[in-house]
């Protein structure tokens, strides 16, 4: 096998990994040459799975409908909460999948990965939680938005929720590829969109649980 052949094989393998991480099956043919029917088939399966997963987000929202009715302001931060958790999970997944492909990480050192992601997740969560709290405080002080007399508790709810959600997203995103590798599956199938969907649903549970704990007796 020539040097060019080796590069070609490596390029195809990397292309497959990137496509799977994007939430699609490997196309097996160049983008401009694959038929529209095959492209739709390759992409539809994962999109349906992700759509069904996102439907659980609506289910979770319905479960906390009473809390939302009592404190409508909580709903304002739902997009922020779920997108941040999904971003953290997607980021961790991409890093671990790449590290696995380069041989920098193996399943045998999963505990080292978990420890690093716990520390990284906490640090990132504190950073984002602080930014979220400051944003609410500044908007309240500048009268851009009136969050009511309990704005401080709302700010703490958002800040603490972000810490928990970013930590969970980092853990889930880093562990899922390792679990799949241990089970004999391709870690790339733990695509960033899949992890984001998982963290979206669980992130809502974390958010409203923190809200209930802090706002019970005031807004809730």
Per-residue pLDDT of the chain (220 residues; tens, 9 = 90+): 565 555 555 556 565 555 555 555 656 677 667 777 877 777 777 677 777 777 777 777 777 888 778 788 888 899 888 889 888 988 898 888 888 888 889 999 999 999 999 999 999 999 999 999 999 999 999 888 888 888 999 999 999 999 999 999 999 999 988 998 888 877 776 566 778 788 888 888 999 999 999 998 888 7
| 49 is a domain residue | no
| 20 is a domain residue | no
| 35 is a domain residue | no
pLDDT of residue 93: 87
Please state, in angstroms and rounded to a whole number, the distance separating the CA atoms of residues 68 and 90.
28
pLDDT of residue 62: 78
Place of tokens 């994007």: 22
| 44 is a domain residue | no
Find all residues with CB under 8 Å of 91, minimum gap 6, and list them: 170, 173
The sign of the CA dihedral 55, 57, 61, 62 is positive
pLDDT of residue 86: 86
| 19 is a domain residue | no
| 79 is a domain residue | yes
Domain span at 72: 64-215
Find all residues with CB under 8 Å of 135, minimum gap 6, and list them: none
Domains in the chain, number: 1
| 22 is a domain residue | no
CATH code of the domain covering residue 106: 1.10.357.20
| 34 is a domain residue | no
Q: What angle do CA 32, 35, 39 make, to 5 degrees?
A: 90
């Amino acid at each position: 096998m020539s040097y060019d052949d080796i590069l070609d094989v490596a390029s195809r393998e990397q292309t497959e990994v990137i496509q799977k991480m994007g939430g699609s099956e490997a196309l097996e043919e160049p983008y401009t040459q694959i038929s529209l029917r095959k492209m739709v088939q390759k992409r539809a399966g994962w999109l349906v799975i992700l759509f069904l997963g996102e439907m659980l987000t609506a289910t979770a929202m319905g479960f906390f409908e009473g809390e939302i009715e009592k404190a409508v302001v909580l709903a304002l931060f739902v997009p922020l909460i779920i997108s941040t958790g999904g971003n953290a999970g997607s980021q961790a997944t991409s890093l671990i999948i790449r590290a696995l492909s380069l041989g920098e990480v193996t399943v045998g050192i999963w505990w080292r990965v978990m420890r690093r992601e716990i520390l990284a997740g906490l640090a990132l969560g504190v950073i984002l939680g602080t930014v979220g709290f400051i944003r609410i405080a500044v908007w309240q002080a500048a009268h851009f938005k009136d969050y009511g007399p309990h704005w401080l508790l709302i700010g703490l709810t958002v800040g603490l929720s972000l810490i928990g959600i970013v930590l969970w997203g980092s853990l889930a995103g880093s562990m899922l590829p390792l679990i799949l590798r241990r089970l004999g599956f391709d870690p790339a199938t733990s695509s960033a969109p899949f992890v984001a969907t998982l963290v979206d649903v669980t992130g809502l549970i974390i958010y409203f649980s923190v809200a209930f704990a802090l706002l019970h007796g005031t807004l809730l």
